[in-house]
Amino acid sequence: MPAHEHEHDTTEPLARERAHLAASRSALRAMREDAQALDIRDVTANWVNAAVLQAQIDERIKSLADLSHTPLFFGRLDYLHRVGGELAEGAEGEQFYIGRRHVHDADGDPMVIDWRAPVSQPFYRASRKDPQDVGQRRRFGYTGGELTAYEDEHLSDPAEAEQTSKLLQAEIERPRVGPMRDIVATIQPEQDEIVRSGLGGTVCVQGGPGTGKTAVGLHRVAYLLYAHRERLARTGTLVIGPNRSFLHYIEQVLPALGELEVKQATVDDLVTRAGVEVRGTDPADAAVVKGDARMAEVLRRAVRSHVTPPTEPVVVVRGSRRWRIPAYELAEIVTELLARDMRYGAAHEALPQRIAHAVLVRMEEAGEAPDDRVQNAVARNPAVKAAVKAIWPVVDPAKLVLRLLSDAEFLAAHAEGLLDEDEQKAILWTKPARSVKSAKWSAADAVLIDEASDLVARTHSLGHVVLDEAQDLSPMQYRAVGRRCTTGSATVLGDLAQGTTPWSTESWAQALHHLGKPDAVVEELTAGFRVPREVIAYASRLLPVISPGLAAVESVRESPGSLEVRRVAGPAELDAAVLAECEASLTREGSIGLIAADARIPVLAEALTAAGHAYLSPGEETSAESRLTLVPASLAKGLEYDYVVLDEPAAVVDGEPDERTGLRRLYVALTRAVSGLTVVHAAELPDRLAAPGA
């Protein structure tokens, strides 16, 4: 599979391909100009229609932008025969250019086919064993937006030896400057299967560092929006990430694929409600209990405890008549509503109508002929309203959680048989807050309020949710995410070995149960495309301790010399040694991440500033001028850098509440490098890393 670069016999094909690129760019420009020239004045009935249509046109214009740093096409498929379906107009041996978006010429003929279209699938899936009617697959190489090389693979030629694509490898290894890129040119067959799986089912992807799980999840969203655009336009899509830095890092991927309408949020964003300000933090033991699934039942009991069985009849006066509904009949209505297990708020709304219906039955028995308007009027009668307020009062979710965490007796009554005394004590506030507004709510409290809110009124469900770094969620957080896709599906992404919260999940079966998607398909990605083999093998020494039974990632990237472990004499020499390694890394091309225990960040920040090195914070965009990011270990997850300098592994481990969480945090830090990792330490390394051969 030779790569061609300005060779004498390939000048003409290369020139032809460049001409096609120029023509495609020109066609895309024309498509954009057509969209900009649309005059909607004669086709809209009113200003609302006009505003909606104009917004749609504006979105289309935005999606037709020609991004200079993202080549319009990256591959070509030459089919042996005519392709079936709507593209079956051409001659035999049809040729399709595969790119990030569809481009057509003035006659409507395709010049570039969207990578998500069925005809593009063999670009990712075809092989010598299964050529899928592809005679030749061509990949293109670009330098600064210029098409400079191509590489051919003749899938049906038995004489041609199978080789690894050099252009594919170069694209995977291209230095990382700026935010996360799409991987649309490098999707592997096992990744493509996940990307193109249907909208109906939930997929859970277990993937070690560098297996591309985040990119696969984002590309699946782009694919689903392509295949089910109208449905998802109605129901909505959402990407949930672990923190703002991570979301900032990935936010350019979907726009590069032409998708602009996908919302992004953290779990904290989802559950935060007006008037509930998260200002406090929980000790680990309290957070674990608050995040436990048993809290859902505690809250359910607490909400339903507000229902008081009626002891008095309701007497409705209408004109000269009095209609009496005895207490036992009211009790039957209440019992029936409780048995139906409706949302508390929906039952509160239904109760006056049920009482009114009982009054109407009596009216009819007395020979009257009341209609719906009479029933609604009775439901609003002061006597009915007073009865509803006494029997089924309004519940404020935040006030309910405030009372649970402040009132030991109230908590004990509803946690009986669920939480033991120590667990109840762990979550009770030592100094109860006076009001919802003054309370120092924690992130776990906000999740409890969200659960209580859903018990009162149903949470709106989206069509599809992507949940990344899912291993770190508590059962109650899974429930909060699950509520957002009860009628939709989800893509769950994570790595059990990278669980760094005290409540991180032990198994995907457990997580999917709490998410409400127990039938989800679990796929495992074990081929690593990002982290060099030496580096991943070194980090994988920790796996037997942090996640027994989990398969180590098999990196496809051999990069001898990509790992260096350097010991210094003592703490006094550490800062200077770390600084020297950062300076050495800056002589190379690409981004540099200096990762350290959170407690070490201020010291290293001072050292970098004193040495005249400007540095970025995690998630901030690297550029040619500013390539060094100072990364607290707690924010390293999901990020990647060409070169990583890891400061004092022992401090990273010690910064966590227990050793296993500390070693998992270290595993994350060790696996952020794309080209090289240098570990600098003064203290002893953790046992597994200090093993022979380290």
Q: How far is CA 451 from the centre of its chain?
A: 20
**For residue 336, which amino acid is it?**
E
Diameter of the chain measured on Cα atoms: 106
Q: Span 493-508, mean pLDDT?
A: 92
The token pair at 580 is 């020297």
3 state DSSP class of 651 = helix
CA–CA separation, 87 and 103 (whole Å): 14
CA–CA separation, 56 and 50 (whole Å): 10
User: Above pLDDT 70, what percent of the chain?
Assistant: 89
Q: Long-range contacts of range 438-442, CB-CB < 8 Å, 24 or more positions apart? A: 439/276, 439/280, 439/402, 440/279, 440/280, 441/276, 441/277, 441/278, 441/279, 441/280, 442/278, 442/280, 442/281, 442/282, 442/287, 442/290
C-beta neighbour count of 618 within 10 angstroms: 22
Buried b (16+ CB within 10 A) or exposed e, 506-523: eebeebbbbbbbeebeeb
List CB contacts of 632: < 8 A, sequence separation 6 or more.
Answer: 595, 596, 597, 598, 601, 618
Q: pLDDT tens digits for 150-176?
A: 888 888 777 766 666 666 666 666 655
Buried b (16+ CB within 10 A) or exposed e, 549-586: ebebbebbbebeebbebeebeeeeebbebbbebbeebe
CA–CA separation, 405 and 320 (whole Å): 50
3 state DSSP class of 191 = helix
Q: What is the pLDDT of residue 262?
A: 84
Q: What is the pLDDT of residue 6?
A: 37
* pLDDT higher than 50, residue 86: no
> Contact at 8 Å (CB) between 464 and 213?
no
Mean predicted lDDT score pLDDT of the chain: 87
Q: What is the pLDDT of residue 91?
A: 40
The token pair at 206 is 């277990």
Confidence of residue 242 (pLDDT cuts 50, 70, 90): confident
* pLDDT higher than 60, residue 5: no
Confidence of residue 214 (pLDDT cuts 50, 70, 90): confident
The 3-state DSSP composition of the chain as helix, strand, coil percent (nearest 5) reads: 45, 15, 40
Q: How far is CA 123 from the centre of its chain?
A: 26
Confidence of residue 330 (pLDDT cuts 50, 70, 90): very high
Q: Span 414-434, mean pLDDT?
A: 94
User: Which residue's structure tokens are 């599809």?
Assistant: 464
**Full DSSP string of 67-89:** -TTS-SEEEEEEESS---GGGTT
Q: What is the pLDDT of residue 42?
A: 60
> Contact at 8 Å (CB) between 206 and 496?
yes
Q: What is the pLDDT of residue 561?
A: 77
User: Above pLDDT 90, what percent of the chain?
Assistant: 55
Q: Span 460-486, mean pLDDT?
A: 96
Q: Span 547-572, mean pLDDT?
A: 86
The CA–CA distances, whole Å, from 530 to 318, 643, 676 equal 77, 12, 11
CA–CA separation, 479 and 475 (whole Å): 6
* pLDDT higher than 70, residue 587: yes
CA–CA separation, 585 and 591 (whole Å): 9
> Contact at 8 Å (CB) between 668 and 529?
no
The token pair at 663 is 């070693």
CA–CA separation, 102 and 109 (whole Å): 10
User: Which residue's structure tokens are 């308007």?
Assistant: 373
* pLDDT higher than 60, residue 88: no
Q: What is the pLDDT of residue 4?
A: 41
* DSSP annotation of 278: B
Confidence of residue 89 (pLDDT cuts 50, 70, 90): very low
Q: What is the pLDDT of residue 210?
A: 85
* DSSP annotation of 441: B
Q: pLDDT tens digits for 522-551?
A: 999 988 878 889 999 999 999 999 998 888
CA–CA separation, 571 and 582 (whole Å): 17
CA–CA separation, 166 and 171 (whole Å): 9
> Contact at 8 Å (CB) between 652 and 669?
yes
Q: pLDDT tens digits for 630-686?
A: 999 999 988 889 999 999 999 999 999 889 899 999 999 999 998 899 999 999 999
CA–CA separation, 130 and 686 (whole Å): 47
CA–CA separation, 155 and 133 (whole Å): 9
How many helices and strands (H and E) does the chain possess?
Answer: 28, 22
Name the residue with higher pLDDT: 392 or 10: 392
Confidence of residue 2 (pLDDT cuts 50, 70, 90): very low
3 state DSSP class of 414 = helix
3 state DSSP class of 635 = helix
The token pair at 22 is 């120029």
Size of the chain in residues: 694
Radius of gyration (C-alpha) of the chain in whole angstroms: 31
CA–CA separation, 480 and 459 (whole Å): 9
3 state DSSP class of 419 = coil
Q: Please provide residue 521's backbone torsions phi and psi, each rounded to the nearest 5 degrees.
A: -85, 130
3-class SS string, 530-569 = CCCHHHHHHHHHHHHHHCCCCCCCEECCCCCCCEEEEECC
Q: What is the pLDDT of residue 505?
A: 93
Q: What is the pLDDT of residue 178?
A: 55
Q: What is the pLDDT of residue 597?
A: 97
Q: What is the pLDDT of residue 46?
A: 67
The token pair at 160 is 């041609």
CA–CA separation, 389 and 312 (whole Å): 13
Q: How far is CA 8 from the centre of its chain?
A: 48
Q: What is the pLDDT of residue 693?
A: 44
Q: pLDDT tens digits for 342-365?
A: 899 999 999 999 999 999 999 999
Q: pLDDT tens digits for 248-290?
A: 878 777 777 767 778 899 999 999 988 899 999 999 999 999 9
Question: Residues 121, 124, 125, CA angle at the centre, nearest 5°?
Answer: 80
* pLDDT higher than 50, residue 205: yes
Q: What is the pLDDT of residue 174?
A: 64
* pLDDT higher than 60, residue 191: yes
